Chains A and B, each alone.
Chain A
Amino acid sequence: MIKAQSIFKTFTIGGESVNVLNDINIEINDGEFVSVTGASGSGKSTLLYLLGALDAPTSGEIIVDGTHLSKMNDKQTSEYRRKRVGFVFQFYNLIQNLTVEENIVLPVVLDGKKAKGYAAKSDELIALVGLENVRKQKGALLSGGQQQRVAIARALINDPHIILADEPIGNLDSVKSAEIMKLLQKINREKGVTIVQVTHSRESVGYGTREIRLQDGKVV
């Protein structure tokens, strides 16, 4: 379960501080598929970064399965990102000079384990995201939709409980978007992974179980 309590996030630009998140309180239960929506600039990405411990709130507390993110040190937050959440970015963020397979098993390697032990697992994920025919290709050569599917497979390699996806279909056409959404839905239903996605598209909200709307840094 993910709990966000009285979250504030303030940015200071040129001496002026802006409250991007303004007292956010949310609870997301295990197995949910939540879509965070709102106008551009309403703080959706900021919220997701906080949930993924990619950034820290100005004040407030995020509690995941009973552990407070603010009380973790770098080693622990790294482990949290490695094992308990998978993050999917709008702009994929693959390591461009590694192949599809290598990108997918990277979190395992970072965990200090041998990639070989995860060959079966990575095969399974490659099949799940449907990238069998490009598995040896480098990230830089893939299309947008393919890169996004690699990112999803990478997010799944360590069997996380939670996937955080920031506009996973923001750069894809409607056919590819539908494929990715179906994939996420499948992961949510079959593996029981909690999914929190940020989205602009009405259709994609339909794949989820609940919608959280942000407006001016508040939940509405």
Chain B
Amino acid sequence: MSIVIKHIWRNIKEKKLMSALIILSLAISGALLFVALSIADVLDTVADSEFQSVTTVFLLIFVVTSFMSVFVVFSSFKYVMALRVKTLGTLRSIGADKKRCGNLLLLESVVYGLISAVFAAAAGIVLLLILGKALSGGTAALVISPTYILITVLFCLLLSPICAYLPVRASEKYSVKELILQTHRIKEKKRLPVLLVGLALTAIGVLLVLINALKYEEWAVYCSLFVSLAGFVLCVGPLVHYFMALLGKVFSNNFTVRNMRENRSHNTIAVLLAIAVAVVFMVNSANAILIGATDKSFALYNYDIHISTKTNDAIYSAAEVAQVGGVSGITAADGIYYQSEADAGGHIPVMNLYGMSLSKMNAYFNLTTEEEITAQDAKTILLSRDYLEREKLAKGDTITVGNAEFEIAGIIKEMFNSGNVGVLSEGDFEELYGVSRYTLIAAKSDIPDAARNALRAEGFQTAATVADMLARIKSINADLFTTVNYIIVLSTTAGVFGVLNNLLIAFASRKRERALLRSIGMSKRQSAKTILVEALITGLTGGSLGLVGGLLLTAVIPAVFLVFEFPVKSVPLSPAAITLCIICSAAICLLASLISLISNSKLNVIQTLREEIL
């Protein structure tokens, strides 16, 4: 084996904990990808338009969380490089050129990539199996795909050197002397410009989300969301620094607090925590909205059996409706015109446009108007309050639906979160869409299951009981939320590894300082206290900054949902979630600092001081 390879291998072996943490954070990123890919396949099979928004949100969550896990891997590598600085200097001093040193570091990262690829594939498969057990079966079964395993392996192999690349390039700009004497980090970073750029990006991103959402450009919303996220990530670093500086000013008589802002690893941890908290918080809000909305979506139907095609084709004749009415067990049946996403000129589409008489509406739907209407005139439309408020329309205004103008004659009471419903008279609907057959047959029955079977026997294969539909949707929902939460847990784990990693480095890089302080009389207890104070400050800073970011991201969620014609009036903010975010990040830091505390209690003062001199 070449000496260089031997050196790399020994680096990995000797710094077991550190290598393990890097490999684990890489592997978790890979496993996350594997699980997400496999889940996306399953989600694809849930074709109903009602779930489009859920799957998109899932995608969004995945993008955001992978953003974070990649950041964790990246920051780990930044510190590995920092630890290698002296070795790099030594190699350069005996004649290795920059390229060679760079290659050496990249090779090391490839080794991490290789090892982690194996773990990622294995962990991914295990996680998928566990997830499969947790799902209620509403969605299709999860399948372990060899293609995705391959993608995961390639991902780990590539992610590792890619994350290592930037720190490697950064190390190349220093002179050999700076590397050897480790004076390369004395230069102050430029923070203010970064902060300003970050703030500007966030503002622009948020603004664009709001504007684009109104225009229904899905990809544009994603891009702007990404911009605002990137802006936030840029801001966090400088913000943490300034916040620590402020703390230092306030508690200027406390040595530990005063020095926090110079404490790079702790600041990185705070940054990590802030991003993680923001993401978790946002995802949580999105989840809450969806759960609230889907639970209520079936409150609309006041009938028991639903007959329609998957693509809502207008195919049912009056004779067929009569046939349904004659089936045993059916007490009433009627045909109803329906159009989804009806074009409304300059306004957002009407998601659910019905063509039915008032008597049908009262009989089959839980739709009532705010002021009682006895008859619907021609060329008038009834619209839900949510829709009108959102589009700044009022009773008496006119609106263009399809190619005809309608006067808004009544307001349908809001009955669930995503109320976007319109009702036309049957005559108007027939004229507008040129149809004479119904889109759906609604039927009532006291024995829905038996009636459904009878209907199927008569050739109405799509007949389904509303209760079944609701159960199915509930089960799909449950699965979707299980998966979303699963992804959250995974990415949080990645975040925790990032925190552990950095705390470890923080301790290692200041081992000598601790030994020195101990040698001049600082007790183990005092030393432990400083570790805890640092962890606590870091956790609280990261937690509260993350909360600010999370609230900001939450503010744009309604806009994102809007793109999927899923109007959200308000985002539920739970004080419990807010408190939990802060407490959790402090707790994570304190827990993670246990490792440092153990190392601290075992610190051999003489040995440490001697090692550093030799």
**A residues neighboring B (CB under 8 Å):** 49, 52-56, 74-75, 77-83, 86-87, 89, 91-95, 97-98, 102, 105-107, 109-111, 115, 140, 143-144, 147, 154-155, 158, 171
Residues on B with C-beta less than 8 A from A53 are 176
Residues on B with C-beta less than 8 A from A115 are 2-3
29 contacts between A and B (CB under 8 A): A49-B177, A53-B176, A55-B177, A55-B178, A74-B97, A78-B92, A78-B95, A78-B97, A78-B98, A78-B100, A81-B94, A82-B96, A83-B95, A89-B180, A93-B89, A93-B93, A94-B90, A98-B6, A98-B10, A102-B7, A106-B3, A106-B91, A106-B94, A107-B95, A110-B95, A140-B611, A143-B614, A155-B94, A158-B95
In contact, B92 and A81 (Cβ under 8 angstroms): yes
Interface residues as binary, B1-42 with A (CB distance below 8 Å gives 1, 0 otherwise): 011101100110010000000000000000000000000000
In contact, B90 and A95 (Cβ under 8 angstroms): yes
Residue in B closest to A144 when the chains form the complex, CB atoms: B614
In contact, B7 and A81 (Cβ under 8 angstroms): no
With the chains together, A98 CA to B352 CA distance in Å? 72
Known: A52-B93, A82-B96. 15 other contacts (CB 8 A): A49-B176, A53-B176, A54-B93, A55-B176, A78-B92, A78-B100, A79-B95, A81-B176, A87-B94, A107-B94, A109-B3, A110-B94, A115-B2, A147-B614, A154-B94
In contact, B7 and A98 (Cβ under 8 angstroms): yes
Q: Which of B3, B6, B93 lies at the interface centre, i.e. has the most chain A CB atoms within 10 A of its CB?
A: B93
Residue in A closest to B9 when the chains form the complex, CB atoms: A97
- Tell me how far the C-beta of B116 lies from the nearest C-beta in chain A, rounded to whole angstroms: 22
B175: CB under 8 A from chain A?
yes
Residues on A with C-beta less than 8 A from B99 are 74-75
With the chains together, A89 CA to B613 CA distance in Å? 13
Q: Which of A93, A98, A143 contacts B180 (CB 8 A)?
A: A93
Q: Which of B91, B177, B611 lies at the interface centre, i.e. has the most chain A CB atoms within 10 A of its CB?
A: B177
Interface residues as binary, B601-612 with A (CB distance below 8 Å gives 1, 0 otherwise): 000000000010
- Tell me how far the C-beta of B556 lies from the nearest C-beta in chain A, rounded to whole angstroms: 42
Interface residues as binary, B501-531 with A (CB distance below 8 Å gives 1, 0 otherwise): 0000000000000000000000000000000
B379: CB under 8 A from chain A?
no
B340: CB under 8 A from chain A?
no
In contact, A102 and B6 (Cβ under 8 angstroms): yes
In contact, A105 and B3 (Cβ under 8 angstroms): yes
In contact, B176 and A111 (Cβ under 8 angstroms): no
Residue in B closest to A13 when the chains form the complex, CB atoms: B186
With the chains together, A7 CA to B98 CA distance in Å? 25
With the chains together, A171 CA to B614 CA distance in Å? 9
Residues on A with C-beta less than 8 A from B91 are 95, 106, 110
Residues on B with C-beta less than 8 A from A110 are 91, 94-96, 100
Residue in A closest to B93 when the chains form the complex, CB atoms: A87
With the chains together, A61 CA to B94 CA distance in Å? 22
In contact, A171 and B175 (Cβ under 8 angstroms): no
Residues on A with C-beta less than 8 A from B92 are 54, 78, 81
B87: CB under 8 A from chain A?
yes
